[in-house]
Amino acid sequence: MSNPIPAEARAAPRVSPLYDPRIRAAAYQILLLLAVGLAAWAAVGNAAENLRNARVASGFGFLGNTAGFDVNQTLIPFAAANSTYGTAFLVGLTNTLMVAVIGIVLATLLGFTVGVARLSPNWIVARLAGVYVETLRNIPLLLQLLFWYVAVLASLPAARDSYAFGSSVFLNQRGLYVPRPMLAADAWAIPAAFGLGLAAALAFAARARREQARSGRRLPVWSVGIGLVAGLPLAAWGVLALSGAAPLSFEVPVKGTFNLRGGMQLYPEFVALVLGLTVYTAAFIAEVVRSGIQAVSRGQSEAARALGLKPGPTLRLVVIPQAMRVIVPPLTSQYLNLTKNSSLAVAIGYPDLVQVFMGTVLNQTGQAVEVVAITMAVYLTISLLTAFVMNVYNRRVALVER
């Protein structure tokens, strides 16, 4: 019988810490963090030294100083005499958010329509959608913005020769004039009714999903939701009107000899920016929608037709819900691109965040580091919030694996 192996020989050999992959990985990460920290410290120190040499005070105290300039398109009150640089920042931010929200909604609607049209059995419709996508995707966005602003809107007639649509809508070189809604003091009941209707519609949609999962019965979610969201505000308006109140009135633009007075003016810079961002981003969204629909197995459509569903309900109830799991991730990227591309508004003079804050405010104050840092932080925050909302929606439409 052979001798047993000694315990010392059976023990695992000791490995030097230098060859332990976990220790080496931790050491590399620590060294990388130190290198990044040193680079950041050197950059901050260099910037501070340059500011001292240029006799520029650092800090964010300049936001409380009087701006001294005016902005023609604002969603919040702004006056050159008493408004601050902080208010100018809010003006640029709200203008950017307004363009981004409107552009996302319009580009989504147009992009989904064109994307579905590209798969249409109608040869003309499919080819026209293809020409739209291939043309607008391959023309730089800046050129498209200049086309809408210079070639289309600048060629409109002067104010006194405005195109009239009825007696209350006018279009000219200065923009589109439409009636301005004027809310009375008791009109708070209308947005309150809208919020109540929206909450009720969401609650009904959740109940409809539970009912469909339990029994397979589909409730009329869209008709009930539209009825609640639109019906409750109309009912509140009717009650206020019957009680003798006037919750909503309109200030109609009036055409004078050389200009128009009253109403609400949509400036050509705003219209050109929204049009350019919408038609450009919609071309990319159309391709995202087309690829998402084609990613759904053809057997799903065949099964729906075997059950007696027509092409429209098949697309809406079977194909699109399954395609959304493929569509949502690249669609999020297009939303982020649209928001960041709105900074090209500086080329046509629209007062967005870049034009107002990084342009006028930076030139007047010289606070380049602070202004650039704030602007970068704003775009980063908007992008992260957009990605978070879309990721939440993506988890809701993702397929649940067993």
Residue with tokens 């009239």: 164
Are the CB atoms for 355 and 346 separated by under 8 Å? yes
Q: Which distant-in-sequence residues (6+ apart) come within 8 Å of 5 by Cβ? A: none
Q: Which of 67-76, 79-88, 189-198, 339-348 has the highest mean pLDDT?
A: 339-348
What residue segments make up the domains of the chain, in order of their start?
Answer: 19-53, 59-140+266-402
Would you tell me which CATH number, out of the four given (1.10.3720.10, 1.10.10.10, 3.20.20.70, 1.10.645.10), belongs to the domain 59-140+266-402?
Answer: 1.10.3720.10
pLDDT tens, residue by residue, 237-294: 888 777 766 677 778 888 777 778 888 888 889 989 999 999 999 999 999 999 998 8
Under the banding of pLDDT at 50, 70 and 90, the label for residue 123 is very high
> Which two structure tokens, joined as six digits, stand for 278?
């919408």
Range scoring the smallest mean pLDDT among 12-26, 94-108, 276-290, 317-331: 12-26
Indicate if the pLDDT at residue 1 is higher than 60. no
CA 201 remoteness from chain centre: 24
> Which two structure tokens, joined as six digits, stand for 145?
């913005």
- pTM, 2 dp: 0.79
> Which two structure tokens, joined as six digits, stand for 180?
């301005």
Amino acid at 91: V
Under the banding of pLDDT at 50, 70 and 90, the label for residue 112 is very high
